[in-house]
Chain A
Amino acid sequence: MARPRVGIFGLTGCGGDQLQILNMEDELLDLVARLNIVDFQEGSSRKEEGPLDIAFVEGTVSTEKDLHHLRDIRERAIILVALGNCATDGGVQAMRNEETTLEERMKEVYGAKVTITEALEPRPLEAYVKVDHSIPGCPVEKDEVLRGITSLLHGDSPPRYTYPVCVECKLLEYPCLILEENKPCLGPVIRAGCKARCPGLGLDCIGCRGPIEGGVNYAAELKMLLNKGYTREYIMNRLKVFSGKLPEDLTEGAR
């Protein structure tokens, strides 16, 4: 693709995935030379309407305005890439989706008198539109974004991770935090690509890259952590942090 028209957009979120693009200090100037960035709210006042070859979208759909914006982007873009955990899985703001209603949250926080009707339950992009590619992570890894963009420029798909954090953790020869230190690590069920950053610092994986693509054996993870003495409530709370969804094999069978 020769210098595609690119838009970089943010719905509701922390802006961290767009920031990771600005954080590529060594590559940024070369990168923008290869892309015709026509809209990047966080980085530029330039804003052009019209068709897009590639749209990168971070954040969740959390308001009617987000939804309208996303649908407009989808209509304009040939390729739509979900950028980061909010866009791919719902992110931290979705962690209570199955527990409380939006109305309850609203009332608790703003009081009964306020009615703000524009808010929606936080959802990832694919709840509303077709997503062509996903780059996961909270935040996205810079090298993964770079490789993703390079792949797209060559008409290929960004890399996908169908294996867990444990694989990278073992390749780097870190000690297993579950087996050796009894820590509640989510590495066995979370998709790789981060080079096991947290286990590398002696910290259990908290799941910021979302579940491995394809089948995940949550029941085995649950059983292992129960055996280590963690309560079901504690483990469930942790599994929900980055999407709000409880895996089906836990809500149904594993009780």
Chain B
Amino acid sequence: MSRTISVEELTRVEGHGGIEVVLSRKKVKSVKFQIFEGPRFFEHLIKGVHYEKIPDITRRICAICTASHSLASIGAIENAFRVQATPQTRLLRDLLIHGETIESHALHVFMLALPDFLGYPDAISMASEHLDAVKMALHLKKVGNMIHTALSGREVHGMNERVGGFSRVPSEAQLKKVMNELLEVIPVTELAVKLLASVELPQYGDSENLLMAIDSGPRFGYMGDHVLTSKGERVPESKYLSLTNEKVVGHSYAKFSRYGGGPFMVGALPRMVLSGSKMDGDAGELYKQHRGLIKAGNSLSNNLCQALELVHDVQRAVNDIDELLSMGLRHEEPVEYEVFEARGVNAIEAPRGLLYHDYSFDGEGRVVKANIITPTAQNAANIEKDARVIAGNLATEDDAAIKKAIEVMVRAYDPCISCSVHLTRVK
């Protein structure tokens, strides 16, 4: 006798996906993470488009990680044309990526994931009994969006960050305003850690995870040019294809990534396991206190790692603004550069994990070939692995219990299904 358990539509995630598990005599026969989101063919769309407009198009792959896409896109273009951004630009970009992570993690931790652990269908229903927490979370999210708006031009699909720099450098007054708000939300980030640390995580999904995250250098962060793996490797971003062999599967429009023939994980948990010890200040202290709760083999601990990152993000944003203000903001134009036939690759940590953009240009700066690999496409095979373990361990339970456990696991990854449907390689 076999039974099929399917979560037809995952909720509180971005995009449309489901998951189906077939059990036969208490053994898992098959697992499919299905992605219903339609194909959008971005790599095909941008073929022939002039490099200058590429980030405006590719950032529209995803709303919640729009700046990650635009910065990865700009980074790949700058690597191709050997553009050296100024120290001020690099700091502003660091601030922007931290702002995006604040907005995204605040939304996910408080409004999408926490209701699972406290037993509500959504944050709005949660507000009836935890109004203060929900209001504080909205405030935190808003501060992330303020950074976005000040630097990028609006909350979703901004425009101000460009190849070579920023079209308009924000004013000191704008940054000071953001700074004041940041200082107010520090307690909210600490509350996030407290809430998530108090949740006792089920262990029915525990299994080995191969982890990957960016090497952010001496400080914890989301930018760098090498990728670290939990096997102790350090791979240059330009060699990313050796890490992410993509495979077409019949049940989804997202290609699935594999490394060494097996699944791997990207996101907050891998970042924390591979680089968490680099965090400093209050974030570093909280990391030390909670290190024991972060289990590389329990994907559900991803949410606690996101909460720890929130503490880091706010702290880092404050530091970045401090540094910008003490340097004195200069109204620099984007730097100048030559365009030639070239290829460029860039890796960045989007809130959900490693993101790669790779473009080849003709002599006029038009795209001839492109490849974009998103975090959720990389996590898809690992999500199937976890679902298989959960269903196997809960095989004697009823369908509803298995379904719920799988849904909570998938949501812990904070999947961005719109993103995952990226459809690769223009030949």
CB interface residues, B 280-324, toward A, < 8 Å = none
A148 touches B (CB below 8 Å): no
* Residues of the A chain whose Cβ atoms lie less than 8 Å from the Cβ of B13: 42
Interface 1/0s, chain B 402-427, versus A by CB < 8 A? Answer: 00000000000000001000011111
The verdict on A203 contacting B64 (CB below 8 Å), with A41-B11, A93-B41 known, is no
The verdict on A108 contacting B427 (CB below 8 Å), with A42-B12, A44-B12 known, is yes
A111 touches B (CB below 8 Å): yes
Query: Would B168 and A109 count as touching, CB distance under 8 A?
Result: no
B139 touches A (CB below 8 Å): yes
CB distance from A88 to the nearest CB of B (A): 15
- Residue from the list A46, A65, A108, A139 in contact with B36, Cβ < 8 A: A65
Query: Would B40 and A12 count as touching, CB distance under 8 A?
Result: yes
Query: Would B16 and A41 count as touching, CB distance under 8 A?
Result: yes
Query: Would A14 and B62 count as touching, CB distance under 8 A?
Result: yes
Please, how many angstroms separate the alpha-carbon atoms of A13 and B42 in the complex? 12
Please, how many angstroms separate the alpha-carbon atoms of A7 and B66 in the complex? 25
Interface 1/0s, chain A 35-57, versus B by CB < 8 A? Answer: 00100111111110000000000
* Residues of the B chain whose Cβ atoms lie less than 8 Å from the Cβ of A122: 38, 40
- Residue from the list B14, B135, B156, B167 in contact with A139, Cβ < 8 A: B156
Please give 6 more A-B residue pairs, beta carbons under 8 A apart, in addition to A45-B12, A63-B38, A203-B160: A46-B122, A62-B39, A65-B16, A66-B38, A93-B45, A234-B50
Residues of B within 8 A of A (CB): 9, 11-16, 36-45, 48-50, 53, 56-57, 60-64, 66, 107, 111-112, 115, 121-125, 127, 134-135, 138-139, 141-142, 145, 153-157, 159-160, 162, 167-168, 248, 250, 253, 255, 418, 423-427
Which of A22-30, A154-162, A164-172 forms contacts with chain B?
Answer: A22-30
Query: Would A201 and B155 count as touching, CB distance under 8 A?
Result: no
Query: Would B418 and A15 count as touching, CB distance under 8 A?
Result: yes
Q: 22 A–B contact pairs at CB < 8 A? A: A10-B15, A12-B38, A19-B64, A20-B155, A22-B107, A23-B145, A25-B138, A29-B124, A29-B134, A37-B124, A62-B39, A63-B38, A92-B45, A92-B60, A105-B44, A109-B41, A109-B44, A109-B426, A116-B253, A119-B39, A139-B154, A237-B48
- Residue from the list B45, B107, B125, B135 in contact with A95, Cβ < 8 A: B45
A153 touches B (CB below 8 Å): no
What does DSSP make chain B's interface, helix, strand, loop or mixed? Answer: loop
* Residues of the B chain whose Cβ atoms lie less than 8 Å from the Cβ of A60: 38
Please, how many angstroms separate the alpha-carbon atoms of A105 and B44 in the complex? 7
Query: Would B155 and A109 count as touching, CB distance under 8 A?
Result: no
The verdict on A109 contacting B57 (CB below 8 Å), with A15-B14, A23-B145, A203-B167 known, is no
* Residues of the A chain whose Cβ atoms lie less than 8 Å from the Cβ of B168: 201-202
Please, how many angstroms separate the alpha-carbon atoms of A192 and B181 in the complex? 31
A247 touches B (CB below 8 Å): no
Interface size class of A (residues with CB under 8 A): 35 or more
* Residues of the A chain whose Cβ atoms lie less than 8 Å from the Cβ of B153: 197-198, 201
CB distance from A20 to the nearest CB of B (A): 6
Query: Would B159 and A203 count as touching, CB distance under 8 A?
Result: yes
Closest residue of chain A to B252 (Cβ to Cβ) is: A116
A179 touches B (CB below 8 Å): no
Closest residue of chain B to A26 (Cβ to Cβ) is: B142
A71 touches B (CB below 8 Å): no
- Residue from the list A37, A41, A43, A142 in contact with B9, Cβ < 8 A: A41
* Residues of the B chain whose Cβ atoms lie less than 8 Å from the Cβ of A203: 159-160, 162, 167
Please, how many angstroms separate the alpha-carbon atoms of A139 and B59 in the complex? 12
The verdict on A23 contacting B40 (CB below 8 Å), with A29-B135, A109-B425 known, is no
Please, how many angstroms separate the alpha-carbon atoms of A106 and B250 in the complex? 13
- Residue from the list A16, A19, A32, A62 in contact with B124, Cβ < 8 A: A32
Query: Would B142 and A201 count as touching, CB distance under 8 A?
Result: no
The verdict on A119 contacting B63 (CB below 8 Å), with A22-B111, A41-B16, A201-B159 known, is no
* Residues of the B chain whose Cβ atoms lie less than 8 Å from the Cβ of A119: 38-39, 253
